Amino acid sequence: MEINKYGSVMSAYAKTAYEPPKTKRGSANVKNTDTAVFSSASKAEGAVAGAKASVKNTVESFASPKTIAALKSMIADGSYDIPAESVAASILG
């Protein structure tokens, strides 16, 4: 295969090569800035409080407040113990 006139192809590439726009740096380019909007801390705290309440309600629907109080006291005094074998059996099925 022989290519005879590759000069015209090369000049076409040189004419279409990307050249970044020439702009002045400084405050004149304000329109090209990105913006981000964050919610206020009070909205985020409300969402966290709502999530905590939801988890609490879910837990309380499976166990009575009396059972939860008994577990809390066992954990506090260090007498609450679950054998590793039963944890593994529950995880592995």
Provide the 3-class DSSP secondary structure of residue 5: coil
Provide the 3-class DSSP secondary structure of residue 90: helix
Q: What single letter denotes the amino acid at residue 59? A: V
As a whole number of angstroms, the distance between CA 7 and CA 5 comes to 6
What is the average pLDDT score of the chain? 77
Instruction: Express each pLDDT in 39-67 by its tens digit.
Output: 666 677 778 888 888 888 887 788 888 98
Task: Using a cut of 0.75, tell me whether the model's pTM lies above it.
Answer: no
- Is the pLDDT at 30 greater than 70, yes or no? no
Instruction: Express each pLDDT in 5-24 by its tens digit.
Output: 655 555 655 666 666 777 66
